[in-house]
Chains A and B, each alone.
Chain A
Amino acid sequence: MNSSDLRYLMNLPKFEYFEPKTIEEACSLLHKYKGDAMVLAGGTDLLVSMKKREISPKYLVNIKTIPDLNYIRYNGEGLLQIGALATLNEIKDAKIVKEKFPLVAEAAEKSGLPTTRNVATMAGNLCNALPAADSAPLLICLGAKVKIQGVEGSRTMLVEDFFVDSKVNALQNGEMVTEIQVPVLPDNSAGVYLKNPERSVTDVAVVSVGTVITMDAKRAKVVDAKIVLGATAPTPMRAHKAENTIKGKTLDQELIEKAALAASKEAKPRTRPDYKRELVRVLTIRAIKQATI
């Protein structure tokens, strides 16, 4: 057994390093080196994995040298645009986010420790594509999209579809994420993100639940519901059956419990299934209640 089996943090392995000045340049580098090149943003996932020798990309493309990728702005037409280089703390503290998109602020705040949030980007959190990525559930609930740029042009895609498998995102060769787009919350809507770490400290969530619920004007019936489970399947996943259980209905304890039970059945935990399913149930009950107070 040597160091690579033990996976401790070693010095970084050797790699070639690029500082592109434009998105196009970055994409063409990624395209040129195919699977051997990786994007470096905050580095809080990437560099740690490299030091552990879990991955050893031959080329790193540092996108932090691209001007104009660090922004957080409202386009005036219902869309929040977050540049790929905006850090989690910048997002959480941005005035427009706090005022108009509190759930985006919550997603940013609950993704890591104050120190890592100073350098970690939200785009990186999504691109890393862990099942427990903390910014994903609320973004999915909100119907957020990622803007993807490649050598042949750009496209947008729902965050929900961007997660393909554990640690696998939907990017094709030569593509990178340039922006996250979040639509405004409809009226009479509220949401919450609950994560259940093993300890009080910011552990990786054993299970997490994000939900956004839209009520009718009288706040009597559920018009729309999004319930997204984290860390319970290879990707963050919509609990469609749970959503459908409450859609169009008037919430009461019994219905909430029914929805939560549906969510726990939908979950596909690979490890500790009984425990995780029970936590999904409990957190879903709590999340629905907190989102509809």
Chain B
Amino acid sequence: MKKHSVVGKSLTRVDGIAKATGRAKFTYDMELPNMLWGRILRSPYPHAKIINIDTSEAKKLPGVKAVITAKDIGPVRYGFVDTPRYPADQLVLATDKVRYIGEEVAAVAATSKDIADEALSLIKVEYEELPAVFDPEEAMQDGAPEIHDEIVPDRPCAWEDWGVARKARSYKAENNICAISQQGHGDIEKGFKESEYIREDKFYIPSTSHMAMEPHVALANWDPSFQKFDVWLTHMGYEVKRYWLARALDVPISRVRVRKAYVGGAFGGKIDPFSYEFLAAFLSRMTLRPVKISLTREEVFIACRLSHRFIINVKTGVKKDGTIMAQEIKAIDDPGAYRGSSPVVLFLTHGFRRPIYNIPNAKHEGIGVYTNKSICMPRRGHGSPQMSFSVESQLDQIAEDLGLDPAELRLKNFRKKGDVLPNGDTLHSCGLAEGIQKAMEVSGWKEKRGKGRDKNRGIGIGVAAMFNGAQYYPFGAAATMKLNPDGTFTLFCGAIEFGQGSDTAMSQIAAEELGVGLDDIILVSADSELCPIDHGNWLSGGIFVTGEAVRKAAVNVREQILDFASGWLEVKEDDLVLKDRKVYAKSDPEKAMTFAELMINSIQARNGDPILGKGFCKPVPEVEFYPSLSKGTGRWTNAYTFSIIIAEVEVDKETGKVKVLKLTSAEDCGYPINPLAVEGQVESQAVQGLGDALFEQIIIENGRIVNPTLTDYKIPGTLDIPEEINVNHIITNDPKGPFGAKEVGESSRSAAIAAIANAVYDATGLRIKELPLTPERVLQAFMDKKE
């Protein structure tokens, strides 16, 4: 293999100094001259009719510049999902009714936050309460309160705008059902018939919050002279944001510019379009002043999306030797009062598990049900944590029941490189077997498993997988590059840095292809005006898709350099080397020119050509348009990442407290563009997974989130994190990824949750099927067992 000089190195982050010194600007920090502060009035009821809204008193308050209700803007719909089958169901401001506590009802813009807050208290809303429903299984029953009327789209849906020929239809939620997914392959009945052991278990997973450090915020500035919006957002990709802003505000898409700002963490929680973003824009256009709406942590908990609540029934049939014959899954998703990403998560809970085990017969039924609760969207792994906890817990139990080693059982059923999945996706690389062996060896699995119960210690394993970008929008990713007069390059790409190290990785990829150092790449990222199209940093397509576009842009520039230099220096192209901002002949290093000279000469000799490059990439190049969310058919992605985590825990049997002692990971990210960043991603997922496994849950009572603060919503503290998180790189060099790289942002969180739950089982013999494993729950399980 070729030796690399920039990729594969743990270089320090290009944004490191700016962040460490506090100079990096996050949207939450931003202020513009003459700026107003926006605040939002929210519904206090889970389900109620709006009879009247009186804003007269609020408008009179000195310092208030605008008050806005649905009357001012009409029923403006939006949604993460807006397909021919599922039209967008959310509203920028509630019109005739509210459907969850925290829903946006009105907003004000004022000269200070305090005045805006005071104005909110002066808005009088008359509600008529309606019966509400909170439990998805109840919401599905006949006679349950109907949360939505028929939704009739009044314009083409997003997918039509993006080139799908099918027309948007109206949607009537029968029995509050907002999404259905039915997938499978093989013959499930035959599979169970051929099984020698069958187990069925039901698992419950609560909502969690994403816990990005920077709360949600939008700053919008309408420029009336150019009829254009400038917006600063905390987000995960500008294409979807500006599409929805343009649509809601009824301006051409080119009149919305999403500016670059650093994003203080995202974890899936900032993908969705949000009412506060539209409201900042509406208020700015009304007042002709910049308007900023920065939400509080409590608002983030209540109104900025949660991870999906799931009830998952898993039935698995195996042979006595552990060979999986059949698996049937029935999943109920409770996305809350609006659809959120329900149709997507229902598909993904299956899609992310498909590449792991070779299950010849599978059936997966998913159904999403509206309830009067806060809305759910992706959180790091989008459905994989929920399903991985369920399936991996059950497989563990099956191994236990049959007297098999759970790691061996997994190894036996793993897919391998070259496998073609039922939908046609191919595993061009797959480090599952190598990974589990490595993790077992490093953690001392064989010596430890089943041997710590007298010491209250246990060890457990979890496995998960992730897409590398997906075929879901017409958006691919593109990048452009220019050579600068000093021989450096400027790279323009849409990828957004939200802490994952995207800016650094993109720069490394470009630098490698051009034989220059990281400092020689000047990066312009995440500005929708300056950068070309980009699919956004979710579904983990950052490196695999945008990174490949960047690599191709750099290759394109390199080719132009080689072409010019070979003519100018009279050297064959394959004899030329690019290094340290110079190009020279390998055979005769005297024959050389600096990139700076090259640019000047190219301009002179080639009619002004300054050397500009471009590159582009699409998640599944072979496929034209859309696969089916509801059936899961069609090609989805071009590569899968695999994660294995082994956890060791100690359980205090008297207080129910679980202490995670050590986490060992084996991560197949293809090839680590920046090994330190890869380790950072895995560690952060391990810690988030620890939070999911032991602490995190949104507690909702009668539609009200009762723990919307960091005092009451528990995340791991420093002392809860094990001193040792051991990350092992499993290098598989995926042929489709830039330098063999895949993704590393999303799958080990799922593996960590399952591993910790399985380790608790190993330590205690308790199989807890509901997350999180709080001290109370563990203690209760002990007490139940004693009885």
Contact = CB atoms under 8 A, between A and B. Distances in A.
B774 A3 contact: no
A10 B714 contact: no
A203 B717 CA distance: 10
Nearest to A6: B298
Given A196-B655, A199-B695, A200-B719, A275 B779 contact: yes
A272 interface: yes
Contacts of B43: 1
A104 to B, nearest CB: 25
B658 to A, nearest CB: 11
B669 interface: no
A199 B117 contact: no
A161 interface: no
A1 B297 contact: no
Nearest to B300: A8
Contacts of A2: 41-42, 117, 120-121
Contacts of A1: 41-44, 101-102
B779 to A, nearest CB: 6
B156 interface: no
A275 B776 CA distance: 6
A196 B114 CA distance: 39
A293 interface: no
Give the most central of B101, B708, B775: most A CB within 10 Å. B775
A13 to B, nearest CB: 10
Contacts of B299: 6, 8
B121 A8 contact: no
Interface string A1-21: 111111111110000000000
A274 B719 CA distance: 27
A224 interface: no
A54 to B, nearest CB: 12
B720 interface: yes
B69 to A, nearest CB: 15
Contacts of B113: 11
Contacts of A9: 296
Contacts of A204: 711
B709 interface: yes
Contacts of A3: 39, 117, 120-121, 296
Give chain B's interface residue range (CB within 8 Å of chain A). 35 or more
A6 B102 CA distance: 9
A1 B123 CA distance: 10
Contacts of B296: 3, 6, 8-9
Contacts of B21: none
Interface in B751-785: 774-776, 779-780, 783
A6 B775 contact: no
B517 interface: no
B719 to A, nearest CB: 4
A288 to B, nearest CB: 14
Contacts of B717: 199-201
Interface in B578-610: none
A198 B117 CA distance: 34
B302 interface: yes
Interface string B670-704: 00000000000000000000000001000000000
Given A2-B41, A8-B296, A199 B114 contact: no
Contacts of A291: none
A114 B515 CA distance: 51
A260 B683 CA distance: 41
Nearest to A285: B654
A198 B775 contact: yes
A97 interface: no
A6 B708 contact: yes
A279 interface: yes
A278 B652 CA distance: 13
Given A1-B43, A2-B41, A201-B719, A8 B297 contact: yes
B718 interface: yes
B75 interface: no
B716 interface: yes
Give chain A's interface residue range (CB within 8 Å of chain B). 20 to 34
A282 interface: yes
B774 A279 contact: no
Contacts of B716: 199
Contacts of B654: 282
Contacts of A278: 779, 783
Interface string B29-48: 00000000001011110000
Contacts of A272: 776
B700 to A, nearest CB: 15
Interface string A224-238: 000000000000000
A223 B242 CA distance: 76
A268 B654 CA distance: 20
Nearest to A198: B714
Contacts of A8: 296-299, 709
Interface string B95-139: 000000110000000000110010011000000000000000000
A11 B114 contact: yes
Interface in B25-73: 39, 41-44
A203 B297 contact: no
Nearest to B117: A3
A166 B776 CA distance: 23
B714 to A, nearest CB: 6
Contacts of B708: 6
Contacts of B101: 1
A164 to B, nearest CB: 25
Interface in B709-727: 709, 711, 714, 716-720
Contacts of B711: 204
A199 B773 CA distance: 12
A253 B720 CA distance: 31
Contacts of A274: 780, 783
Contacts of B121: 2-4
B109 to A, nearest CB: 15
Give the most central of A3, A196, A283: most B CB within 10 Å. A3
B782 to A, nearest CB: 9
A275 B774 CA distance: 11
Contacts of A275: 775-776, 779-780
Given A201-B720, A275-B776, A10 B709 contact: no
Interface in B264-298: 296-298
Interface in A203-240: 203-204, 206
A168 B779 CA distance: 32
Interface string A76-112: 0000000000000000000000000000000000000
Contact of A7 (B44, B117, B120, B298): B298
Interface string A176-199: 000000000000000000001011
A264 to B, nearest CB: 12
B694 to A, nearest CB: 8
Contact of B774 (A7, A198, A283): A198
Given A2-B42, A275-B776, A275-B779, A199 B714 contact: yes
Nearest to B719: A200
Given A3-B120, A4-B121, A272-B776, A201 B718 contact: yes
A274 B120 CA distance: 42
A2 B776 CA distance: 33
Nearest to A5: B44
Interface string A145-182: 00000000000000000000000000000000000000
B710 to A, nearest CB: 11
Given A3-B117, A282-B655, 6 more contacts: A1-B42, A1-B101, A5-B44, A7-B298, A11-B113, A200-B719
26 contacts: A1-B41, A1-B43, A1-B44, A1-B101, A1-B102, A2-B120, A3-B117, A3-B120, A3-B121, A6-B296, A6-B298, A6-B708, A7-B709, A9-B296, A11-B113, A196-B655, A198-B695, A199-B714, A199-B716, A199-B720, A200-B659, A201-B718, A201-B720, A275-B775, A282-B654, A283-B655
Please name the 7 residue pairs, one residue from A and one from B, whose CB atoms are nearest each other, closest first.
A201-B717, A200-B719, A8-B296, A1-B44, A1-B42, A282-B654, A2-B120
